[in-house]
Amino acid sequence: SIGLGLIILINKKAGVAWKTIKEKLPVFLVLGLINIALPFSLISWAEQFIDSGTAAILNGSMPLFTVFLSPIFLKDERISLPKMAGLVIGFLGVVLLMAPSIQNKWSSNLIGQFASLLASIFYAASTIFARKKTGGIPAEIQAFLQLSSGALIIWIYAFFTERPFILPQSSLTWLSLLWLGVLGSCFAYIIYFYLLHKIGTTRTSMITYIPPLIGMLLGVGFLKEQFYWQALV
């Protein structure tokens, strides 16, 4: 949020359409909840039980839910035979990935996978909601309002649930937070909101097909995570 605030001030866009911004504040509170607070929390919780590669692959299922939900709520997003085929193949991939855990019944691993999958559903829903409700505002301001709302919700939640409330002690943790905040959220969400209104929800959601490959390779290479043939398929 701080990074986005600085970008807005540097670009002198802070005074753009304040009336429009005030009218849409409830929209960004909803987005802060379903596109930041809930999925961030679900993924962070899930990765206590599943490795980073699996979490990345399940996060990559977001386009499946976007393709399925978009035609219901957006008139310019039509379902087609190729999209339907992709939806079926992608869904089979998710089932294949989760099959070993399903065989072990309700293990913590399976619950973690469901939590990560639920985060993807929230991402898909928020993408459609943002496309419908956030037009007419620069991408930087949209990203700032959403991230600020999400951060506020998470801070309030953390103060009531974390006992005792402890800040990270490791310098590597702070470096990771800085990396995720500046690159993974600040710049990423500027691009996200720009593409959302430029090329639509389905094509924008396709960017989440990249993290599974990167997440799986980095998890195996740096975290010594086990490589499963299901993940490759």
Per-residue pLDDT at 13: 59
Q: How far apart are CA 163 and CA 174, in angstroms?
A: 21
Distance CA 199, CA 156 (A): 35
Alpha-carbon torsion angle 130, 133, 139, 142, nearest 10: -80
Are residues 58 and 110 in contact, defined by beta-carbon separation less than 8 angstroms? no
pLDDT, tens digit only, all 233 positions of the chain:
888 888 888 876 555 566 667 788 899 999 999 999 999 999 999 999 988 878 888 888 888 888 888 888 888 778 788 878 877 887 787 777 666 655 655 567 888 989 999 999 999 999 999 998 887 788 888 899 999 999 999 999 888 888 787 888 899 889 988 998 998 888 999 999 899 888 888 888 878 877 777 777 888 888 888 777 777 77
Global pTM value? 0.83
Q: Which residue has the tokens 């849409």?
A: 24
